[in-house]
């Protein structure tokens, strides 16, 4: 088991490393004029100024050397210079934003709580609602309840998420202000206000995603409920609910936990639509604004990709390890 974990951690580090190199090279070599946004942000951009800024940013160095400086900065800190101005960037240094000239690490720490609370709240909702509905549908398999649940979940998950989210926003916030203020308020400004503001984004994201879980859980449960040991348990006289939740769900939950881990990680990187529509200042909106609003903010994009890659690899790792504990039949060797 220990060997397996060590091997997985090494692979995870390799994946993060590869992703960071890939994104770095892609952006700095792919974009026509990487120093342009910095130069434009400082007023009129002349050819000499552009050349000076390029030189000071080290853009004339070989790309691997630039990456080396960037990666070294993550561990030891470095000085970032744009033309005449220099910024001191201490240890976990991810660079300096072209737009705000703030430290990326600080801005990231500012925005991460919004995304994490959105993802955590929504995932609790979709896990609970999805699994409950799935178990219910499997228990009543073949009845009208089952058919309604399955077909409505099919229809919900067939609509693009952003339309669902946009409709909820327009009708529940703008037109009929059921939820008057949505967005992210730091929890220090009051627990109640925080919950009220996040309730609609949580519900929208959670209920939409729950439809997939409902169908998945139903499929797993239908399969498990057909097993011999379930019949044995019922024959012994174990009560209906105990069979369903104690025996069947216990076995069916393993693959559900697996996809939950992966979905949660994807959610942390993919809440862009929710953040954009509800104007929640999380990392998704941060990256989107970095790309769509001038100046084009490379360090923000690279930092977001890196953070998301780290989160996803950690989630994969945790899922693999939890898998072994949840299902005694799986012993990873």
As a residue count, the chain comes to 333
State phi, psi for 36 to the nearest 5 degrees.
-50, -50
Output the CA–CA distances (angstroms, integers) from residue 162 to 113, 114, 158, 175, 198, in the order listed. 22, 19, 12, 18, 17
CA-closest candidate to residue 249, choices 215, 231, 223, 211 = 223
In DSSP terms, 205 is beta-bridged to none
Among 262, 318, 330, 332, the residue binding other proteins under the rule CB under 8 A is: 262
Q: Is 206 exposed, middle or buried (0-12, 13-18, 19+ CB in 10 A)?
A: buried
Which residue, 12 or 55, has its beta carbon nearer to other proteins? 12
Q: Is 214 exposed, middle or buried (0-12, 13-18, 19+ CB in 10 A)?
A: buried
Which residue, 189 or 227, has its beta carbon nearer to other proteins? 227
Given a contact cutoff of 8 angstroms between Cβ atoms, the answer to whether 259 and 216 are in contact is: yes
By CB under 8 A, tell whether 148 contacts other proteins.
no
How far, in Å, CA of 320 to CA of 8, rounded? 9
By CB under 8 A, tell whether 9 contacts other proteins.
no
Interface region with other proteins, contact rule CB under 8 A, candidates 18-26, 55-63, 179-187, 321-329: 18-26
By CB under 8 A, tell whether 178 contacts other proteins.
no
Map the footprint of other proteins across residues 285-304, applying CB under 8 A. 287-288, 291-292, 296, 301, 304
Which residue, 80 or 137, has its beta carbon nearer to other proteins? 137
How far, in Å, CA of 148 to CA of 156, rounded? 12
Interface region with other proteins, contact rule CB under 8 A, candidates 45-53, 232-240, 305-313, 324-332: 305-313
In DSSP terms, 79 is beta-bridged to 88
Among 31, 148, 178, 332, the residue binding other proteins under the rule CB under 8 A is: 31
Total number of residues that touch other proteins (CB under 8 A): 52
By CB under 8 A, tell whether 114 contacts other proteins.
no
Which residue, 120 or 196, has its beta carbon nearer to other proteins? 120
Residues of this chain that bind other proteins (CB under 8 A): 15, 18-19, 23, 26-27, 30-33, 36, 141, 154-155, 157-163, 166-167, 170, 174-175, 219, 222-223, 226, 262, 265-266, 269-270, 272-273, 276, 284, 287-288, 291-292, 296, 301, 304-305, 308-309, 312-313, 316
């Amino acid at each position: 088991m220990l060997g397996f974990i060590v091997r997985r951690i090494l692979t995870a580090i390799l994946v993060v490393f590869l992703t960071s190199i890939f994104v770095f090279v892609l952006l700095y070599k792919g974009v026509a004029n990487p120093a342009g946004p910095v130069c434009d942000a400082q007023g009129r951009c002349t050819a000499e100024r552009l050349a000076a800024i390029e030189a000071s940013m080290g853009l004339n160095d070989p790309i691997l050397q630039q990456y080396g400086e960037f990666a070294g900065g993550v561990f030891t800190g470095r000085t970032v210079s744009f033309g005449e101005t220099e910024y001191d960037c201490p240890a976990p240094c991810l660079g300096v934003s072209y737009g705000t000239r703030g430290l990326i690490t600080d801005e990231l720490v500012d925005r991460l709580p919004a995304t994490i609370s959105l993802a955590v709240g929504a995932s609790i909702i979709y896990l609970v609602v999805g699994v409950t509905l799935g178990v219910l549908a499997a228990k009543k398999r073949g009845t009208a309840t089952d058919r309604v649940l399955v077909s409505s979940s099919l229809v919900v998950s067939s609509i693009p998420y952003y339309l669902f989210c946009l409709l909820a926003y327009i009708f529940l916030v703008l037109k009929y202000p059921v939820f008057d203020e949505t967005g992210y308020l730091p929890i220090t400004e009051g627990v109640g206000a925080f919950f009220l503001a996040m309730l609609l984004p949580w519900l929208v994201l959670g209920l939409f995603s729950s439809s997939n879980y409902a169908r998945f859980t139903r499929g797993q449960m239908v399969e498990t409920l057909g097993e011999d040991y379930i019949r044995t348990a019922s024959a012994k006289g174990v009560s209906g609910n105990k069979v369903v939740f104690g025996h069947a769900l216990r076995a069916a939950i393993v693959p559900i936990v697996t996809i939950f881990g992966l979905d949660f990680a994807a959610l942390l990187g993919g809440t862009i639509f929710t953040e954009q529509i509800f104007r929640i200042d999380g990392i998704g909106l941060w990256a989107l604004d970095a790309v769509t609003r001038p100046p084009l903010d490379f360090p923000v994009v690279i930092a977001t990709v890196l953070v998301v890659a780290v989160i996803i690899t950690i989630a994969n790792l945790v899922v693999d390890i939890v898998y072994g504990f949840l299902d005694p039949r799986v012993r990873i060797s």
